[in-house]
Chain A
Amino acid sequence: MSKEAKKTPISERRRFFTDLAHHAGLGVMGMLLWAGYADKAKSSPLTLRPPAALDEAEFLKTCIKCGLCAEACVNRPQNIDKETGRPRPGTIKMAKAQDPVTIGTPYFIPSDVPCYMCDDIPCVPVCPTGSLDPAKVTNPETGEFDIRMMDMGLAVVDQNSCIAFWGIQCDACYRACPLLDEAIRLEYDRNPRTGKHAFLKPVVDMHACTGCGLCEKACVTEKPAIFILPRSIALGKPGDHYVKGWDKQDQARVANQEGKDLTTHTQRSEKAPEDYLNGGLEF
């Protein structure tokens, strides 16, 4: 560009369009950086939320990060240590920047402090935004809070490290469970190694378990052999193809699957058996 061209003022129209492009460009740049960060700032899928939390995506939208649930949790009367007069650490933590949880949102780590499943569920009604939805823990018949309706997660037993599965007698999780004999049952089994002892194997009932984590806290192994996972991680889904024909309730589950293709499709099933058996199949 010559010196003269530099001095020549650009036209109003050109200035307008250049300004427009400038602002739009900066705006899009900022938006991309920000949206990219927001995506990374979302919680790890292993995050356990307080009782009655909405599904994670909705929860992240609505939680205003006020901490009222955490304050209600730590200051509930049952949590006050009678000797010191001070509250014990609360279950609900508020995520800090270094945690794998969206900053400022409430979560809990059962092996630190499990959820004690208070009858009055003090953490839920204080939520100002409805991220913790009282309806999710209200019994529709009585209209009152029902701790059995909580589903913060699901206890999962690692049978390899659970010493009860080795044959050593341990029922720590079974006894710690607030829904004793419902959420965790002991399954008696013959121990063929000794021939005269029994296994007392803890078995979790997925319907009854609330994910409170008292079992994980109570577990005696170095790293707990029973632990809480979010239900979205811990559970599979059979889909509509498979039905318990002997179970009326399970038939109700697939009552609305009308019109869907019920054939299982795999790469193999696309060809007739004689074709893929004779011709081979590449995957």
Chain B
Amino acid sequence: MSNDFYTTQILPYAAIIIKICRAYTDTQEDFEDYYQEVCLQIWRSKDNFKEQSAWSTWIYRLSLNVCLTFLKKKKNNKQNAPSDLLPDEVLVDSRAFADESLNQLYDAIRQLSEIDRGVILLYLEEKSYQEIADIIGTNTNNIGVRITRIKERLKKILSN
């Protein structure tokens, strides 16, 4: 990957990748691995970008796909667990943001199922239901209901 491509095409959108990778990892080491893999995949797939969606949407999609694939591989190494189930153990994040409320919100997000994590991240990033449905690969009708359910669950986790 050239530095030029990274600087002009990825770095301006690094926040997206960081936010997503943080939700799927529990250590700084894993986070860096995921981040690097996402960057590499963006570079590798750059020729497949058809400008049917925004470049940022493309990055969201790739980031989520890479994180889900990595997580699945990790789970498969431990046991053959289905991908959309709640994690068996609550991940403890060894890193911290300056804002403690944000740390707690991230902790709560990490207790959601893999797909729900993606949905809520996209919602918090103010993506439209249509965009969320496109990125996740589902239909728009389910998104609203799912977001309401996820928010309720997050509130419950945070209040505990």
The answer to whether A and B belong to the same complex is: no
Chain A positions near chain B (C-beta within 8 angstroms): none
Chain B positions near chain A (C-beta within 8 angstroms): none
